[in-house]
Amino acid sequence: MSFEPLSNRSLLNDWMTVGVFLLGAISLSVPSGYSYATVILVLGSIVYLVKNGLGPMSWESKLLGASMLLYATFWMAESSLRGAGLRAWDEPSRFLFALVCLLAFSSGATVRLWGLWLGVAIGAISAALLASWQYFVDDLPRVTGFVGADHFGSLAMILGLLSVLGFIRAVAAKQSWPYVGVCLLGAVAGPYAALLSGTRASWGAAVLVAFLLMFVFGRCFSGKRTLALTGGGLVAIGVIWLAFDIVTVGRITQFVYETKDYFGSGHAEGSISIRFDIWRAAFALFLEKPILGWGEVAYGEQMIKAGEQGLLSPLVASVGSSHAHNQILDALVKRGVLGLAVLMIVYLVPLLLFLRVLSRRQGIDAVTLAAAGLTIVIATLIYGLAHNPLGSHNGVVIYAFWIAILGGLALRSEEAG
């Protein structure tokens, strides 16, 4: 795999680099910042495809594109047939826009990779600065950014984990120390911002991704250096956790207490207990229509009806009427086992393809790009156990476009180089 050298500049590649840079740099620190970046990327991709046509694509890129197309068309068609209206097209249609980017990158469009990694590091740092302002100056109990506390924490953690990969690449490629320092700062800033948000699911994802990062360390550095970098990373996270034991630890304690209380007495008063009640009601609805589910509209109506009949508290019914607060269960209850199969395809296909790249290629760029793709998939999938990331605008944009960009670059055929 090769990438166009910096000396061989082109306006279009610079344009795409700006888009990828902004997708990381302003996604959390600017209201709807991710949307501005995607407009740049889609426009650049269209120009590239009109100018150069659809070039040779690897079968992996075609498979990834097919999974994105399948998810978008199924979700949009199902919503239309069940009366959800055009509003329900908003989130799944983002996969179609991202597909345009995948086609362009798979066909030969490229970016300056230093811009990609610098963008995610600056994004993590700016998220940390925003989080600090909201917590210490605005006195928010949980920082929310511009997307809500849980989404902000999850996305900040993703930016931090991607910054770790940027740091690995910078060290391995012997980049300048200021550049290495920015990437390292981003790796610390992302978890710090997530900690102030109080989100719990992002830390579960970070634990799993940590094993992936250790593998990447081992591929890029000697054993002693791997141990040193891994140990340094663990110490940094520990310092953050101990120094800013403000929000997340208390919420983890709350999780344990509410779980014991719910299964001991059946109380549903806190956020965890409410979520358990929503899951119980949603699973019962799924069992009534297991093949195709209820659909968006009917599901909400059934939850509200359960509240009116006293089967659920009005609060639980209201909170759970939009979605089941678990992406897998939400797909089951609204779209049945068929919907769950389509959902898992859009996760498992990129997961397996990125794993395949890690297993067969040795170049630092291919390794870090594939590891970044795996990080996006794993973090979003784990976060989806307690939320519905692909059902929110910010979540689906970040997932779809990063998968398209990283997949288009890492899975590129040798001919497309």
pLDDT in tens, 22-64: 999 999 999 999 999 999 999 999 999 999 999 889 999 999 9
62 and 158 belong to one structural domain = yes
Q: Tell me how far apart the alpha carbons of residues 386 and 384 are, in angstroms, rounded to a whole number.
A: 5
Q: What average pLDDT does range 357-384 have in this prediction? A: 90
Could you tell me if residue 238 is inside a domain? Answer: yes
Could you tell me if residue 341 is inside a domain? Answer: no
391 and 288 belong to one structural domain = no
Q: Which of 325, 354, 386 is the last residue of a domain?
A: 325
Could you tell me if residue 262 is inside a domain? Answer: yes
The CA–CA distances, whole Å, from 41 to 25, 35, 44, 119, 291 equal: 14, 10, 5, 14, 38
Could you tell me if residue 339 is inside a domain? Answer: no
Confidence of residue 206 (pLDDT cuts 50, 70, 90): confident
Report the predicted TM-score, pTM, of the whole model to 2 decimal places. Answer: 0.89
User: For 34-43, 78-87, 171-180, 236-245, which range has the lowest pLDDT when averaged over its residues?
Assistant: 236-245
Whole-number pLDDT of residue 27: 95
Range of the domain at 77: 11-246+346-410
207 and 318 belong to one structural domain = no
Could you tell me if residue 2 is inside a domain? Answer: no
From the number of C-beta atoms within 10 Å of its C-beta (0-12, 13-18, 19+), residue 235 rates as exposed
Cβ-contact 111, 47 below 8 angstroms: no
Could you tell me if residue 152 is inside a domain? Answer: yes
Q: Tell me how far apart the alpha carbons of residues 178 and 199 are, in angstroms, rounded to a whole number.
A: 31
More confidently predicted of 5 and 190: 190
Could you tell me if residue 70 is inside a domain? Answer: yes
Print burial letters for 140-155: b (CB count within 10 Å at least 16), e (below 16): bebbbbebbbbbbbbb
205 and 223 belong to one structural domain = yes
150 and 255 belong to one structural domain = no
From the number of C-beta atoms within 10 Å of its C-beta (0-12, 13-18, 19+), residue 165 rates as buried
Helices (H), 266-363: 271-288, 296-308, 314-320, 327-360
Q: Tell me how far apart the alpha carbons of residues 217 and 172 are, in angstroms, rounded to a whole number.
A: 10
157 and 184 belong to one structural domain = yes
Q: Which of 291, 325, 359 is the last residue of a domain?
A: 325
Could you tell me if residue 62 is inside a domain? Answer: yes
More confidently predicted of 406 and 313: 406
Q: Would you state the torsion angle of the CA atoms of residues 96, 322, 350, 23, taken in this order, to the nearest 10 degrees?
A: 60
106 and 182 belong to one structural domain = yes
pLDDT in tens, 70-127: 999 999 999 888 877 777 788 999 999 999 999 999 999 999 999 999 999 999 999 9
Confidence of residue 242 (pLDDT cuts 50, 70, 90): low
Coil vs helix vs strand at 403: helix
237 and 253 belong to one structural domain = no
Say which residue the tokens 């978008």 belong to: 72
- Total domains in the fold of the chain: 2
158 and 218 belong to one structural domain = yes
Whole-number pLDDT of residue 417: 33
159 and 296 belong to one structural domain = no
Q: Tell me how far apart the alpha carbons of residues 313 and 274 are, in angstroms, rounded to a whole number.
A: 9
141 and 262 belong to one structural domain = no
Whole-number pLDDT of residue 232: 62
125 and 204 belong to one structural domain = yes
pLDDT in tens, 287-317: 999 999 999 999 999 999 988 888 888 888 8
